[in-house]
Amino acid sequence: MRRLLKKTLIVAVATGLAATAVPSAAQAETQGRTGHDRYKRVAYFIQWGVYGRNYQVKDMETSGAAGKLTHINYAFGFVSPEGTCYSADPWADWQRGIPAEQSVDGVADAEDQALKGNLNQLKKLKAKHPGLKVLISLGGWTGSKHFSDAVLTPEARTQLAASCVDLWLKGNLPGLPPGAGAGVFDGIDLDWEWPGSEGNEGNVIRPEDKQNFTLFTAELRRQMKAFDRDSELTAFLPAAATKIDAGFEVRKVFDQLDFATVQGYDLHGTWENQTGHQANLLTDRRDPNPVRYSVDQTVRDLVSRGAPKRKIVVGVPAYGQGWTGVKSKGNGLYAPATGPAPGTWAAGTEDYKILAKKPGKRYRDLLTGTVWLYDGNEFWSYDDPAVLLQKAAYIRLKGLGGSMMWSIDQDDARASLTSALYSVLR
């Protein structure tokens, strides 16, 4: 069966599935207006990207990405030690005045207007694309420390849900008139990394996180629907089966969610001393690691635990994992390395838009759905548009819910990765 799947995916890409079974331009525009897209096309927008990276909300419009997405997850809102939702950066979120050249509609923020910053720009972007939904994503790698405490008791769960709805959906932002931020967010994305298992250093972890996560999703769902019956609740789930089992009652959680995005990247990375695929679609039988990860394996793990296929949205990376000091007579795959390769923003990672122009020989394996770059010293595992066509074909063939990208600022100025997914998943 797996051999047949691999052959089908190869044929799909080789024959240009992207050009088949897709709506006309008029149909696509109608779908975008009504929100009736068959597949979810989600991308994360990082709050801090407006600083060093200088990636603004407007850039999603300029590149054409905004019109090819169904959802934007705004990363991140945090959970406080007191068990309430709060903004980690009010300046970026709603206080920073946006000049005309950075504004979605070309109009600068007025000095005396209440809502400014990224949130006002997201509101303007939604006005241009009426079918587009924006969700506030809670947690992330550095923002999940206090989740366990905040969902420990019924009273705590009620308080956390109420504060999140009040802040992000009702738009009662500190320092602004009541409801000034209303209409920006259409729902909430839970990005607790990870219930019941290790995440960032210092995170609070309890065995009962697994049940409490389910109880919290139910309470949050209840309060969200009481405020707006159309609001959406999603969650980000890990790739490893051990983390899924430690933290998630899969069938019960999916009953509460509109859909879940699944970690389809960081399967291997520079925390390991040998190279590997960071986001391979299918399992590589040559992988020497004791646990062989793949996107397909994670999907099968979730389905076997009760996840509906149509609610599984596959995560794809717009960045690569890179190693240096890689000496190999071959293509560098599974070779020892001395450490992470230099990166623009952090060692061991690099944006697709930079990797696409990086010199070196590229290797492609259609049997695993991978591409990598090796120059005799540095090894970079990443996804390019051809790989994303193969992953999009897989999503369609398996009857899954769509794709999610981390993160949109790492795509190039033409939105090449976003466009590859859009060409198939609509």
Give ∠ CA 165-182-130 in degrees, rounded to 5: 110
Is residue 255 exposed (0-12), middle (13-18) or buried (19+ Cβ within 10 Å)?
A: middle
Separation between Cα atoms, residue 97 and residue 118, nearest integer Å: 9
- Residue 236 is inside which H or E element, if any? strand 232-237
Phi, psi of 287 (to 5 degrees): -60, 120
Q: Are 250 and 301 in contact (CB under 8 A)?
A: no
What secondary structure, in 3-state letters, does 353-398 show? HHHCCCCCEEEEECCCCEEEEECCCCEEEECCHHHHHHHHHHHHHH
Give ∠ CA 132-138-140 in degrees, rounded to 5: 110
Separation between Cα atoms, residue 414 and residue 333, nearest integer Å: 30
Separation between Cα atoms, residue 355 and residue 372, nearest integer Å: 10
Give the catalytic positions in this structure: 193
